[in-house]
Amino acid sequence: MTDEGQPISVDEDVYIRSPSGFFAHLRETQPVAAVQMPGYGRMWVVTRYADVRAGLADPRLAKDRHHWPTGPRTWPSQAVNLHAHMLHRDPPDHTRLRGLMQKAFTPRRIAQLRPRTLEITEALLEDMASAGGGGDIVDLLTRFARPLPITVLSELLGVPAADRTWIEVAVVDYDDRKDRERITRDLAVYFTDLIAAKRAEPCDDLVSALVRVRDESDPGDDASGALTDTELLSGVFQLVMAGFDTTVNLIASGTLALLTHPEQMTRLREEPSLLPAAIEELLRYTNPLNHATDRFTVTDVTIGGVAIAAGEWVLLATSSANGDPDRFPDPERLDFGREPGGHVSFGHGIHYCLGAPLARMEAQVAFGALLKRFPKLSLAGTPEDLRWRPSSLMHGLEALPVRLT
């Protein structure tokens, strides 16, 4: 709170221009603060590493939308229930849903995707080379960082190639908070039809596997082992929403980080075994998400010495935690020699990112192949010329112009 007891207000443009700057300022001045957040309303914003990490795993900070505090809230459609998925649930429903999703989303399925991911990556890099022939500037975001995850995710799910472009546009617009009502309805109709098609003609893809999980689960079994039709639809929707734009941001912002830290890029080229550690550092440094998804207090809690009453919204600023000097010395330095891990870019606790192995695999393939294919890759223009997307949650570039040779 401010001295007058009012929540801190942040101008939307100021926040979107530099969420990390805003959160860093809070971390230094008021690490647990009531803030009027653009697009969300009043929330308690938590910015220190120790508090954020503890908050992510704290069962007193709940998510289930059936128990949301009352009061004004900006939220997409209530009409179609696409929000019955695990990220908006608490135990025991969360435990049940995560277990069922994991039956289909297996490490084996992800490992099997690696060779195909490399093929897709190399084809995209070839196309980019043709587009940039003669030293022209190309947009690495639209030619590489975006098509790679949407293609891999679509193949994993079993989304036909012809439908990928409109889904890509829909997800980006949704994240940028454009016409969410219509987009939610369109995606609900599309995935309902896709599920029906996979049920009629199962294939070796994730949606078919999830339909099998749904149809083999026993609805009579007091819901402990069952997956409902709504949860199946919502679960597929969430995989698309959670798995696409996040990975785009990691690849695009990660490339920017490499281009603006040539000594680290050279180090990675000379020592490719550093790649897994480099991806962890890029996750920490680039923050594909500004913050975790929102939570609310189900009882009175004290965070970082600040008392918060039951029924309040809480925002855990993961990007600020990743930049906390108490946890990461000299946090502004990109350093592939840093002890890997510890970042909270994939969250922590029971909601820890289900897709982390997929995202890591895609990033390893993408950066490995990109550095090999374009030894002279450089930024066209300056970092100050780049524009960031007008999203509160997503931390992503609008475009990334590069020179290939």
**Given the complex with ligand HEM, which of 94 and 143 has the nearer CB atom?**
94
Residues that contact ligand HEM, how many (by CB under 6 A): 25
Of 131-139, 159-167, 286-294, 390-398: span binding ligand HEM (CB under 6 A):
286-294
Region binding ligand HEM by CB under 6 A among candidate stretches 116-124, 195-203, 242-250, 371-379: 242-250
Cβ closest to ligand HEM, residue 153 vs residue 268: 153
Residues 150-189 that bind ligand HEM (CB under 6 A): 153
Q: How far apart are CA 296 and CA 44, in angstroms?
A: 9
Task: Describe the strand order of the beta sheet including 41-46 as a list of residue ranges.
Answer: 8-9, 32-37, 41-46, 313-316, 295-297, 61-62
CB under 6 A: which stretch of 173-181, 219-227, 346-354, 396-404 binds ligand HEM? 346-354
For ligand HEM, the closer of residues 238 and 320 by Cβ is 238
Helix H or strand E encompassing 295: strand 295-297
Which 3 state secondary structure label does DSSP give 309?
coil
Q: Does 246 bind ligand HEM (CB under 6 A)?
A: yes
Give the binding range for ligand HEM (CB under 6 A) out of 127-135, 235-243, 265-273, 365-373.
Answer: 235-243
d(CA 4, CA 381): 45
The interface with ligand HEM within residues 105-134 (CB under 6 A) comprises none
DSSP 141: I
CB of residue 247 to ligand HEM, shortest distance in Å:
5
In whole angstroms, how close is the CB of 383 to ligand HEM at the nearest point? Answer: 21
Tell whether residue 315 is a contact of ligand HEM (CB under 6 A): no
Closest residue to ligand HEM, judged by C-beta, is 355
How big is the CA angle at 394 (ends 390 and 396), to the nearest 5 degrees? Answer: 75
242 near ligand HEM, judged by CB under 6 A:
yes
Of the CA atoms within 13 Å of residue 76, those in its CB half-sphere come to 20
- The Cα 105–Cα 290 span in angstroms is 26
Cα separation, 181 vs 165, in Å, equals 19
Of 247, 290, 391, 392, which lies in the binding site for ligand HEM, with binding defined by CB under 6 A? 247
DSSP annotation of 76: S
Residue 369 and residue 126 in contact, taking contact as beta carbons nearer than 8 Å: no
Q: How far is the CB of 132 from ligand HEM (least distance, A)?
A: 26
Long-range Cβ contacts of 332-337 (<8 Å, 24+ apart): 334/257, 334/261, 334/264, 334/281, 334/282, 334/285, 335/264, 335/281, 336/264, 336/267, 336/268, 336/274, 336/277, 336/278, 336/281, 337/277
314 binds ligand HEM (CB under 6 A): no
Least CB distance from residue 72 to ligand HEM, whole Å?
Answer: 21
Please list the alpha-helical segments (H only) found in 260-329. Answer: 262-270, 275-286, 318-322
Q: Please give the structure tokens belonging to residue 303.
A: 């965070």
Tell me the window of 12-20, 158-166, 191-199, 343-351 that interacts with ligand HEM (CB under 6 A).
343-351
Residues in 27-86 that interact with ligand HEM by CB under 6 A: 56, 86
- What is the rounded distance in angstroms from the CA atom of residue 40 to the CA atom of residue 152? 32
Q: Does 353 bind ligand HEM (CB under 6 A)?
A: yes
Residue 388 amino acid letter: W
Segment lying near ligand HEM (by CB under 6 A), choices 182-190, 238-246, 252-260, 324-332: 238-246
**Would you call 50 helix, strand, or coil by DSSP?**
helix
Secondary element (H or E) of residue 306: strand 306-308
Q: Which is nearer to ligand HEM, 239 or 265 (CB)?
A: 239
User: Which stretch in 173-181, 190-198, 285-293, 304-312 sits in contact with ligand HEM by CB under 6 A?
Assistant: 285-293
> Given 3-state DSSP classes, what are the helix, strand and coil percentages for the chain, each rounded to the nearest 5?
55, 10, 35
Does 147 help bind ligand HEM (rule: CB under 6 A)? Answer: no
288 part of the interface to ligand HEM, by CB under 6 A? yes
In the complex, the residues that contact ligand HEM under the rule CB under 6 A are: 56, 86-87, 98, 153, 238-239, 242-243, 246-247, 250, 288-289, 292-293, 345-347, 351, 353-355, 358-359
